[in-house]
Structure 1
Amino acid sequence: MKTVAMVLFPDFLLLDMAGPMEVFSVANRYLKPDDHYQLITVGTEHGPLLASNGVRVLPDRHIDESSPDYDLLLVPGGPGAYNEKHPPLLTWLQDAVRRAERYGSICTGAFVLGHAGLLDGYRVTTHWNYLERLIRAFPLAQVESDRIYTEDRNLITSGGVTAGIDLALAVVAQDHGKKVAQDVAKVLLVVMKRQGGQAQFSPLMAAVAPHETPITRVQNFVLEHLDQAFTVQDMAALANMSARHFARVFLREVNMTPMEFLQRARVDQARNLLETTELPLKTVAYKSGFGSVRHMRILFAQKLGLTPAQYREQFS
C-alpha cells in the first residue's frame, strides 16, 4: 500500500487537492487491497482550513503530529501558496521530502516548495500565468513553460489546476501500468495524454512593459502591423540601433529574441482570430503575418502541439 499525503494550508485551491486525490481514490477500485493508495491530508493548523473558494476542510493530521514517511507528498497551489510563506510548513517539508519516496506540487504549490529550497537544480513547472514569477523568485530552478507536468528525479510538478489530474494519472501509470490509469481516466472523463502543452491554454507573449523605451516602441509597432514582414534589421531600424546591438538589448529587456517575440505575437494573433471569428485559415494566416497556412501550421505545431484547425475545434 502506498501513502499519498496532501499538505494543506490556509487559502489553498480546493481543486488542486481534490483532483489528484480523486484519481488515486478511483484507482483503488481497480487495485488489490494490498496495492491501494492510502490518502492522507496534513494541515498546517489545528482544526478546519479555509480553502480559497470558502470551503472548509478538516485535515487528518497536523504537521506536528505527522510522520513524514510518505510514498508521495504533494503540495497544492492557491493564493496561500504564492502570497504566503508558512515558515513552520517550510521547515517540516525540508525534512519530509528527504524521507518521502517522491514529492511534488500541483499548480502554484511550486512556490511553497521553492521557498523551502526544494526546487533548486530541478526542472519544474507551474501554472502558465505564474511562470515568470516563479523564474524570478527561484532562479536556480529550471522552469519549463510548456509542460502539463514535469518529472525530474523524485520531484514531480504540474501546470495549472486540472493538470494535477494529469500528474496523478502519470503516477498511477508508473505504479500500476497504463491500463489502470486509462480506466481511471475513463471514469473521470479525461484523456490520458492531452494534445500540446499548457501553452495552448495561455497567451504565449508577455505583455509589453508599460514604460516607453526604444524596445517597447518597436514591440508596439510590430503588434500593430503584424500583417507586415519584419526582419531583425527592420526592427533595429525602428529603434535607431544596429541589428547586433538591438538584438542584445531586446534579449536583455524582453527575455526572448526579437524573432521569438515576433513568432509568439503572430501565434497569439492567430489564436485570437481562430477563437473569435470564422475567417478561413488562409485569411487568419494573412492577418497574422504568416504568409501561408503551411507556415502557420508549422509554428502552431512547434508552439502549441496543435494544428490551427485543431485549435479552432477545441477553443472556438
Structure 2
Amino acid sequence: MKKRVLVPLAPGCEELEAVTIIDLLRRADIEVVVAGLEAGPVTASRGVRLLPDTTLDEALDADYDMVALPGGLPGSDHLAEDPRIGAVLNRMHEGGHFVGAVCAAPKVLARNGILQGKKATAYPGVLQSEGHEAITGNAVTRDGTVITSRSAGTVMDFALEIVEVLCGQETRQSVEGSLERSR
C-alpha cells in the first residue's frame, strides 16, 4: 500500500525545506498531500510562491502515515498557532504514526507536548526557547516516531530519513543514489 504524508504549508515557510521534502518523498513514490493553511498560493519566507494541492481543512479527515513540517519564519509560528495543526499532530503521534519537523518547526512539536521525553534537534536556539533540554545538535534525530532536523542545510537528510522509515533502506538508497550527492 502506498504511503501518504501530509505536508502543511504556512505563509513564511522555508521554501527550500518544503520543496525538498515534497520532491524527495515523491521520488520514493510516497503520496504527498501539500496543504495550505488557507486556500490559494502560499508565499514562502523568501518570496517564492508555492501552490498547495489542497487546503488543510480539506486534508484533515484523510489518513496519513506521517505529518512532516517544513520550518522557516514566520511559517513555523503560524503552524504553532494553528489549533488544527496541533490536533492532527497529536492524533498522529497518539496513533503511533510518524511526525517530523525541520529547522524552526520542532517548536510546533514542543508546544504540543510531542517532544516530552524525546531527544530532538532544531535550528540553534529554537528548542532552548521552548524549554526543551534533550537537544542532540545532530543533522537528523529520530526518537521513536518523532523525526527532527536542524536546518535547510540538513533537510535532504531529513527527507531521506523519512523515506527510509516509511519505505525501507533500499528505497532510500535508490532515491539518494539518483541524486548524485558527493560527501
Q: What TM bracket, shorter-length normalisation?
A: 0.7 to 0.9
Matching of residue 154 in structure 1 with residue 159 in structure 2: no
Structure (1/2) with the larger strand percentage: 2
Output the aligned Cα RMSD.
2.2
Deviations along 1:260-281, one digit per CA (max 9) or x if unpaired, are xxxxxxxxxxxxxxxxxxxxxx
Structure (1/2) with the larger helix percentage: 1
Please give the secondary structure, in 2, of the residue aligned with 1:142.
coil
> Partner letter of residue 184 of structure 1?
V
Match of 1:77 in 2: 71
Match of 2:134 in 1: 142
Judge which range, 61-70 or 16-25, deviates more. 61-70
Match of 1:120 in 2: 116
Q: Mapping of 1:87-98 within 5 angstroms?
A: 87-88=82-83, 89-98=85-94
Q: Which runs of 5+ in 1 are unaligned?
A: 29-36, 195-316
Please give the secondary structure, in 2, of the residue aligned with 1:181.
helix
Contact kept, 8 Å, 1:68 with 1:96, in 2: the verdict is: no
Deviations along 1:276-311, one digit per CA (max 9) or x if unpaired, are xxxxxxxxxxxxxxxxxxxxxxxxxxxxxxxxxxxx
**Structure whose CA Rg is larger:** 1
Q: Mapping of 1:221-300 within 5 angstroms?
A: none
> Partner letter of residue 189 of structure 1?
E
Q: TM-score, length-normalised on structure 2?
A: 0.85
> Partner letter of residue 6 of structure 2?
A
Distance (Å, rounded) in 1 between the aligned partners of 2:39 and 2:93: 22
Q: Which runs of 5+ in 2 are unaligned?
A: none
Match of 2:172 in 1: 181
Distance (Å, rounded) in 1 between the aligned partners of 2:87 and 2:5: 20
Matching of residue 111 in structure 1 with residue 104 in structure 2: no
Match of 2:23 in 1: 22
Q: How many percent identity over aligned positions?
A: 28
Deviations along 1:98-156, one digit per CA (max 9) or x if unpaired, are 346211102211112222222221110012xx2x34123133x51112x1100111111
Please give the secondary structure, in 1, of the residue aligned with 2:68.
strand
Q: CA deviation at 1:24?
A: 1.7
Q: How many aligned positions are there? A: 179
Higher relative contact order (CA 8 A, sep 6+): 2
Deviations along 1:11-65, one digit per CA (max 9) or x if unpaired, are 000111111222122223xxxxxxxx11111221122211112122222232222
